[in-house]
Amino acid sequence: MDYSRIDITAANGVPFRIIHVPAGMRSPNRAQRDGYGAIIEFYDARYMGERFSPDGQFVSSYSSDTIADVASGLCLDMGVPDWQIDAEAMRVVAAWLALTER
């Protein structure tokens, strides 16, 4: 299956790859999550194809419902200052998600 992906660059200059994993499907880089709806995975794209996955370093995942409701920025990991996505970039992600889940 070809998963839907989007690449964005946050206001802090960090590039992220975001993958939409449909409900019941196995993530291309991680284990299947039985019992969940669609999952949105975030990867630090600075590390694509290096020692992590072809999509970069896995950062975090959320249900698509959660991401669709995020109007402000999103902190993906409190311990890593670079892993924050600003509000404008999250609006791009939300618009992409709306088209992806049609």
**All structural domains of the chain with their residue ranges:** 4-100
What pLDDT score does 33 carry? Answer: 61
> Rounded to 5 degrees, what angle do the CA atoms 68, 7, 49 make?
125
What pLDDT score does 88 carry? Answer: 94
Query: Over the chain (102 residues), what is each successive 10-residue block's mean pLDDT?
Result: 87 96 81 72 90 90 83 90 95 91 79
Model's pTM, two decimal places? 0.89
